[in-house]
Chains A and B, each alone.
Chain A
Amino acid sequence: MNAVAQYNFAYLDEQTKRMIRRAILKAIAIPGYQVPFSSREMPMPYGWGTGGVQVTASIIGPQDVLKVIDQGADDTTNAVSIRAFFAKVAQVETTTHTADATIIQTRHRIPEKPLGRGQILVYQVPIPEPLRFLEPRETETRKMHALEEYGLMHVKLYEDIARHGRIATTYAYPVKVEGRYVMDPSPTPKFDNPKMHMSEALQLFGAGREHRIYAVPPHTEVVSLDFEDHPFEIQHFEEPCALCGAEQVYLDEVILDDRGGHMYVCSDTDNCEERREAGHVGVLGTPQEAAE
């Protein structure tokens, strides 16, 4: 017998998992509606993805393969520590390859590679209520959702147009799910909004500090709010990724020196690596053989 006390599988106790599981089922049954749940203290601070971690801990099993990304990257602190957390407390296999993962926990990006049937995308959400900055009272926003009273959100987008000549919201861009609930897609760039629409994957959202879980089932309509004369559009980049030459992907700007030098590289590190392995080279990239 092992003398050292072990954590329960996937860290959470079973009663907590059942409570979260019941919330997830209701979230799936009411797409876009925020289900309150009794969020627990986790061994990491709020803002580090405690909501996503609790959702992942409640769904994950020994047969799952977990990928964790932070702004598209597999190798940043948040992603590495959450991956290590689940490797330790659930002994699951982890990966950085999008196609190999059954569960992908994400902070603020959706992978470039289209997700497939059976994959689950778990979002870490800081502020789940899309109306919160317009109406601070929970009692009021709840009533607004109940009555489908979303005029205020359109006023906000209209004010963007009045001030900037276009809708200036670039991330956490509000969406309407299945023609009913207005939902915050978490602070993903609006570039990723179209990927949520009719996705093959199940999308689960966990907000630990705010005690909310919501979901978008596969093959569900997710429409970004807009106006007829100012239709929704995603960001466009003028140059391709400097490492792999990818176009039509989301790019991060990297400052190279203090004289204005900069480069654009893929935000999705796995997608970039796979492209480079396949022989794609950008203007600042080096061919794979030469790099080794």
Chain B
Amino acid sequence: MDIGLEGGFADPVLQSQAGFRTIMDALANPGTVQNFTKSALAHGALTAELVSTLLTLCDQDSPIWLSDSLRHSDVEAFVAFHTGAPIVREPARAMLAFATSAAELPELGQFNLGTQEYPDRSTTIVLAVPALSGGDELITRGPGIRDHGHISPLGLPEDFIGQWADNRELFPRGIDLLLVADGAVLGLPRTTRIAEGH
């Protein structure tokens, strides 16, 4: 039986530092593709990028939500052994949420949006997508972006533009989104405005 002991970071200190800088650069420069330089290996349904993000950011103080295909004993055992993070069922209680596809993601508004006094208590969603480019072109604007940028990730939730606009409307409340694929991460903090077009 797989009890989740395998995998994880071989060098937890420097791999999580590298992972964090990748994620921080992604959120500070929304829409740019940042590569995980010292990635972990995939584990079961968890892709390598999901594992890297999970091990970098999660521990016993960070309740996490897992999408359906991650709710398996091997993933749960892996999470328990390597991070100790409590797994919650309600998206609204999660500090971080991990999903393997947009189809398994509830509406963004169901996650914790934070409060007006404490907007930092909102959920950070980590979504594995098929690719970070090759999809419909979207225009991004906001802090961290000089003038405007372009993104074209594949596998975004349906009606993403509308859901994101609703999320943006809540500012300073709202969720933050990390899209991961191909050993890289693309950050979309709540401040980013997204529109269709070229």
Contacts and interface: CB of A to CB of B under 8 A. Distances in A.
Nearest to B11: A9
B172 interface: yes
Contacts of B95: 22
B24 A9 contact: no
Contacts of B12: 14
A99 interface: no
Interface residues of A, number: 43
Interface in B80-133: 95, 115-120, 122, 124
Given A26-B120, A59-B20, A19 B56 contact: no
Contact of B144 (A15, A143, A217): A217
Interface string A244-281: 00000000000000000000000000000000000000
Given A25-B124, A142-B117, A180-B172, A62 B27 contact: no
A33 B119 contact: yes
Given A14-B12, A21-B56, A30 B117 contact: no
Interface string B63-92: 000000000000000000000000000000
Interface in A136-154: 142-143, 145-147
B191 to A, nearest CB: 7
A28 B119 CA distance: 12
Contact of A217 (B57, B115, B143): B143
A180 B171 contact: yes
10 contacts: A19-B61, A22-B62, A24-B24, A25-B57, A33-B119, A59-B17, A61-B18, A142-B117, A178-B191, A181-B172
Interface of A: 8-10, 14-15, 17-19, 21-31, 33, 35-36, 58-62, 142-143, 145-147, 178, 180-181, 202, 215-221
